[in-house]
Structure 1
Amino acid sequence: MIPVCRLLLCGFAVVLFSLGAQAEIPVTEVKRDALHESLRLDGMIEAVQQSTVSAQTSGTVMRLPFDVDDRVAAGELIVQLEDSEQRARRDQARAGLEDAQASLQDARQRFTRSQSLRKRNLVSQQDFDQARNALTSARAGVSRAGAALAEAREQLEYTRVRAPYSGILIERHVEVGESVSPGQPLLTGLSLKKLRVVVDLPQRYADLVRVQRQARVTLANGRILKTGEMTFYPYASEQAHTFRLRLALPEPGEGLYSGMLVKVDVPVATREALWVPAGAVFHHSELTAVFVLDDDDRPRLRQVRTGIERDGRVEVLAGLDEGERVATAPEALFGSEWLDIAEGEVSQ
């Protein structure tokens, strides 16, 4: 490259290191590699299991053992309704079953006697048929009474509302002393064991992402989340004209909560780019430069124009050619006892 300007860098001269020090300064070659250009979108973490528990029977709220933000285990009691009416119905159904069972026992005995007498022609066919029909009816009565008791027990169990899965309560819809009816919301909760990311894709990139099926999810602190199955909604938003993409998080780990914002990068294009280690580039005021080794293994300061930084590497848009050697620790060149002070050139 042809030098076009000479600059003093804020009062210090560019330094050239001696032959004895060259081997101690790490260098690397400028390499050409693929650059996958990505579209960065805002996504949100949501719980796979999030639901509202509703009342399945009528009653008055007697107990709310847990409050909002409390953790509950699967099967724990979360709402207790007043159950005197349901208990009365259960006891009544139990008595009805006992009565039906007694009627069945009586009908069975009558049928047994009638059957014995019929074999000896001591009763008419009509009397025998009546005994047999009475036995069938008694059996049906026991079945009906048993079903009524099961229903009464189920209604009684509905007064004790239990957590369907382990999780956190996020909303309470009723208070102690409030009367509720079937279908009325009681509590809303979610589980942090299964999480996923949802993001809206612009229509122009939807088909490409469906084919490539690649995405990277990053937290605000730079942590990259491992993603699993990708699900594409088969319809677009009527307002934003975007397609919803859902990414499973098989190993969410600690520190993730429903409602958190994340960055989702999806590749949309690929091109060739020149790369150098991020540590090889240094900045001073408005200057961005690297040290390039010339044919005599002497470092020359050269101004460069850089692009994106990714995975510890920086894209070089101008100022370097493939195969050139650059110092990977430019700070070590300044103030080193192995360096000879000389005026240098900044070329572009």
Structure 2
Amino acid sequence: MRKALAPVALMLALQCSVAQAGEVVLQPTTVQDLKAVFGQVQSRDTVPARARIGGVLLSRSVDEGTAVKAGQVIATVGDEKLALQLQAVDARIKALQAQLENAKADLERSQALIARGAETQSRLDQLRTAANVLTNQIAASQADRAVIVQQTTEGQVLAPKDGRVLTVPTVPGSVIMPGETVARIAAGGYYLRLALPERHAAHIKAGDPVSVGGRGPGAEAQGGPRRQGKIVKVYPELEGGRVIADAEVDGLGDFFVGERVPVWIPVATRQALAVPADAVQTREGVDYVRVAAEGGAIDVPVVLGPAQDGRVEILSGLRAGDRVVTP
């Protein structure tokens, strides 16, 4: 038997009564029509990994497609001025420490002299104040040094979330400005973005099931399994005469972001007739179904529709009440 036409997924429940052994009486049943569209794989979040300081991109440990973890170092930015500033602060701290040692020595001598009455109180206070000022200057310089060390540490570009690297617009050796993007990361999982003609806007809603076909050309002809999912959001604004919806489908992690795959969505209901698949015979390119009649069974040519769950829809050739002979 030839394969069914392009799938318009049917929830066919063949409502038929048994007339005698090997025969079924056709009765119409309500089925759902599925609209075939293409869905585009999107990431829930696309976050940039940005440089926190300016300088030269010294190294990069990721490329397009690399999986990363939150907090992972993916690149290093270096600024030669930071090393020079750190040397200047260290030198200033050493000079202040030397001045502080002299101030403390002068203060100790002044305290010894004032005990013998050979020094004034005002002179002692001046020396004590000078020592305190130098101590505070050293503390301020150490704080400046900590800032420079922190800036050096911020030269490491970190991945903001778990995900997969989409693009890396910079290369090692290029000049980086603060806040410039070093890599774009797809994070937060994946979903399908669907666009349907606006005439279907009134028929789709959150919670509707969807069926996702295989990847690549010819996947449907090969008869591979479909992925099942559901619509989670229908956007209230039309774009270019189309209603936009998002669908969640398991197993999209191995897809490319932006990849297009066939999707079938229920959009309407109708009445249909269906027969068991083994009741159809194909001879010389024509499909036949054997129907019981007075005087014996006859082969009736039919036009077939979609097939699912072992049943095939009959588009023309049979009518309700016909007794179909099954093997």
Q: TM-score, normalised by structure 2?
A: 0.66
* Higher relative contact order (Cα pairs below 8 Å, separated by 6+ residues): 1
| 1:197-233, Cα deviation, whole Å (9 max, x unpaired) | 00112222223213x7524132233533232452222
In structure 2, relative to structure 1, the CA distance for the partners of 1:223 and 1:47 (3 Å cut) is farther
Aligned pair partner of 2:229 in 227, 230, 235: 227
Q: What's the secondary structure of 1:234's corresponding residue?
A: coil
Q: What's the secondary structure of 1:35's corresponding residue?
A: strand
Aligned mates of 1:299, 1:85 — CA distance in 2:
95
In structure 2, relative to structure 1, the CA distance for the partners of 1:89 and 1:225 (3 Å cut) is farther
Partners of 2:303 and 2:314 within 8 A in 1:
yes
* Worse-superposed segment, 275-284 or 146-155: 146-155
Q: Give the % identical residues.
A: 23
In structure 2, relative to structure 1, the CA distance for the partners of 1:43 and 1:84 (3 Å cut) is same
Partners of 2:38 and 2:260 within 8 A in 1:
yes
In structure 2, relative to structure 1, the CA distance for the partners of 1:30 and 1:59 (3 Å cut) is same
Partners of 1:217 and 1:262 within 8 A in 2:
no
Match of 2:247 in 1: 247
TM-superposed deviation, 1:159: 0.6
Alignment of 1:143-154 (within 5 A): 152=148, 154=150
Determine if the alignment matches structure 1 residue 75 to structure 2 residue 71.
yes
Aligned mates of 1:204, 1:276 — CA distance in 2:
31
Match of 2:174 in 1: 178
In structure 2, relative to structure 1, the CA distance for the partners of 1:324 and 1:48 (3 Å cut) is same
Aligned mates of 2:90, 2:248 — CA distance in 1:
49
Aligned mates of 1:89, 1:279 — CA distance in 2:
84
Aligned mates of 2:24, 2:141 — CA distance in 1:
87
Query: Which runs of 5 or more structure 2 residues have no equivalent in the other structure?
Result: 1-19, 101-128
Alignment of 1:44-63 (within 5 A): 44-63=40-59
| 1:73-107, Cα deviation, whole Å (9 max, x unpaired) | 3332211111554466678889999x9xxx9xxxx
TM-superposed deviation, 1:171: 1.9
* Worse-superposed segment, 305-314 or 282-291: 305-314
Q: What's the secondary structure of 2:200's corresponding residue?
A: helix
In structure 2, relative to structure 1, the CA distance for the partners of 1:178 and 1:303 (3 Å cut) is same
Match of 1:277 in 2: 276
Partners of 2:212 and 2:228 within 8 A in 1:
no
Aligned pair partner of 2:32 in 33, 36, 41: 36
Q: TM-score, normalised by structure 1?
A: 0.63
Match of 1:194 in 2: 189
Query: Which runs of 5 or more structure 1 residues have no equivalent in the other structure?
Result: 1-21, 104-130, 330-348
In structure 2, relative to structure 1, the CA distance for the partners of 1:300 and 1:63 (3 Å cut) is same
Aligned mates of 1:243, 1:146 — CA distance in 2:
61
In structure 2, relative to structure 1, the CA distance for the partners of 1:326 and 1:154 (3 Å cut) is farther
Partners of 2:67 and 2:164 within 8 A in 1:
yes
In structure 2, relative to structure 1, the CA distance for the partners of 1:229 and 1:317 (3 Å cut) is closer
In structure 2, relative to structure 1, the CA distance for the partners of 1:94 and 1:217 (3 Å cut) is farther
Aligned mates of 1:241, 1:94 — CA distance in 2:
67
Letter in 2 for 1:223: P
Aligned mates of 2:207, 2:302 — CA distance in 1:
35
Match of 1:121 in 2: none
